[in-house]
C-alpha cells in the first residue's frame, strides 16, 4: 500500500503580524551614584595640569617625548620617580638597552623638577 500525501493551502494574512517590542531595563547598581566609591586621587605631580617639556632632558627628542607621554610619563617628577625596574621595563618596551641610565634621565629629571618648584 502506498501512503497518500495531502497538501493543504494555508491562506496568507492580509497584514503581517508584528512582533511585540520588548523593553529591556538597564541593570542598576544596588547603590546610588552618590554612595559609590570615588576613584583614588592621583599623586600631586600628576594632577598639576600641563605636561613638562621632557625634551629638556638630554636624550629625549620630540618623538620620544610623545611616546613617553603616551606611557603616562608627562612630568619631570614622573621620570624622577622611576625605579631601576621601571627603567628596565620602559627600555624593554622601547627597545633601548641601558639608555635611561646612560643618559641620566632620572638625575636630570630630579634637577629639573627641583628648579620648577
Please report, for the domain that includes residue 57, its CATH number.
Answer: 1.10.150
Q: Is residue 16 part of a domain?
A: no
Total domain count, the chain: 1
With b meaning 16 or more CB within 10 Å and e meaning fewer, what string describes 35-48?
Answer: eeeeeeeeeebeee
Nearest to 51 by CA among 32, 26, 78: 78
Four-residue CA torsion sign, 111, 113, 115, 117: negative
Residue 88 placed within a domain: yes
Residue 22 falls inside a structural domain: no
* Residue 71: predicted pLDDT: 94
Q: Is residue 103 part of a domain?
A: yes
Which structural domain, as residue segments, surrounds residue 108?
50-116
Dump pLDDT digits (tens) for 59-109.
Answer: 999 999 999 999 999 999 999 999 999 999 999 999 988 899 999 999 999
Task: With respect to residue 21, please indicate whether it lies within any of the assigned structural domains.
Answer: no
Q: Which whole number is the average pLDDT over 18-37?
A: 54
Domain for residue 69, yes or no?
A: yes
Residue 17 counted as domain residue: no
Q: What percent of the chain has pLDDT over 90?
A: 52
pLDDT for position 24: 56
| Rounded Cα distance, 32 and 30, in Å | 7
- Residue 28, in any domain of the structure: no
Confidence of residue 50 (pLDDT cuts 50, 70, 90): confident
Predicted confidence band of residue 35 (pLDDT cuts 50, 70, 90): very low
The span from the CA of 50 to the CA of 72, in Å, is: 13
Amino acid at each position: 500500500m502506498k501512503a497518500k500525501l495531502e497538501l493543504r493551502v494555508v491562506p496568507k494574512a492580509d497584514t503581517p503580524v508584528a512582533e511585540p517590542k520588548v523593553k529591556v531595563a538597564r541593570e542598576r547598581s544596588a547603590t546610588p551614584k552618590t554612595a559609590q566609591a570615588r576613584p583614588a586621587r592621583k599623586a600631586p605631580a600628576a594632577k598639576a595640569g600641563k605636561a613638562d617639556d621632557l625634551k629638556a632632558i638630554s636624550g629625549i627628542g620630540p618623538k620620544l617625548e610623545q611616546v613617553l607621554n603616551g606611557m603616562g610619563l608627562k612630568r619631570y617628577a614622573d621620570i624622577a620617580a622611576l625605579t631601576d625596574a621601571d627603567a628596565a621595563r620602559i627600555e624593554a618596551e622601547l627597545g633601548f638597552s641601558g639608555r635611561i641610565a646612560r643618559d641620566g634621565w632620572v638625575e636630570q629629571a630630579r634637577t629639573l623638577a627641583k628648579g620648577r618648584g
